[in-house]
Structure 1
Amino acid sequence: MKIEGKSIRPFIGSKNYTISRDFYTDLGFEEIITSKKMSYFYIGNFGFYLQDAFVKDWIDNSMIFFEVDNLENTLKTIQNLKLTKKYKNVRLSEIVYKEWGNEFFLHDPCGILWHFGEFNSK
């Protein structure tokens, strides 16, 4: 028997749960509140659990890779949201071109590093 899955949903923390919830909603995720200290955020079939929990080493080492179809359009969309002006500590990079594909980086308000990328065609 082999393992078959429907989704994978990482758990991430937050330094300020309210600010992080607002950030991810502004980024375009839908929120389902699962308890007083946790929500599920999703775009289409992709999502994650945001917890009202701050463990510095965990946050400092949390990274999420979000594969997209059109990296340039995704970057423009996020730039137009002006999240770096609205939220303290949010950083957004330009596209980095690599041998495997391309990506840009977005740090959320508590420092979680998001990689938005697309792989080269095979």
Structure 2
Amino acid sequence: MKLKPKSIRPFIGAKDYAISRQFYQDLGFEEVVVSPNMSVFRTGEFAFYLQDAYVKDWVDNTMVFLEVDNVENHLENLKKSGITEKYDTLRCSEVVYNDWGNEFFLHDPSGVLWHIGAFNIVAE
């Protein structure tokens, strides 16, 4: 069977839903409220659901990879935005250079780990 998907949208939990909603807006995502306890955050064609639900083991083990064109520029713009100082629980690494590509790590206010990176090779 060959899939012909239109989108893929992971579900992400939030320890403090209001803070997480504001964080993702500050990060540059557009919010579309689906219900009182769930929103879709999107940028361009890409989106994910944020839920007002927190299970520590789930959130602590959630990872999302966001592919960008230029990792260094993305990190620089993130730091210039002031977002890393605005949220006490936010953690952000420096760029890590790997054989497959480059990335940095950003933990959201709930602990969700975002890998923000670029690949050296194109996987088809």
What band does the TM-score fall into relative to the shorter chain? over 0.9
Runs ≥4 residues deviating over 6 A: none
In structure 1, what is the Cα distance between the partners aligned to 2:121 and 2:108?
29
Are 1:21 and 2:21 an aligned pair? yes
SS in 1 for 2:26: helix
Match of 1:49 in 2: 49
In structure 2, what is the Cα distance between the partners aligned to 1:17 and 1:95?
28
Gaps of 5+ in 1: none
In structure 1, what is the Cα distance between the partners aligned to 2:104 and 2:119?
12
Gaps of 5+ in 2: none
Match of 2:65 in 1: 65
SS in 2 for 1:8: coil
Q: How does 1:1-122 map to 2 (within 5 A)?
A: 1-121=1-121
With normalisation by structure 1, the TM-score equals: 0.96
SS in 2 for 1:33: strand
Aligned length: 122
In structure 2, what is the Cα distance between the partners aligned to 1:114 and 1:90?
11
Identity of aligned residues (%): 61
With normalisation by structure 2, the TM-score equals: 0.95
In structure 1, what is the Cα distance between the partners aligned to 2:88 and 2:50?
18
Considering only aligned residues, what root-mean-square deviation do their CA atoms show, in Å? Answer: 1.0
In structure 1, what is the Cα distance between the partners aligned to 2:46 and 2:61?
21
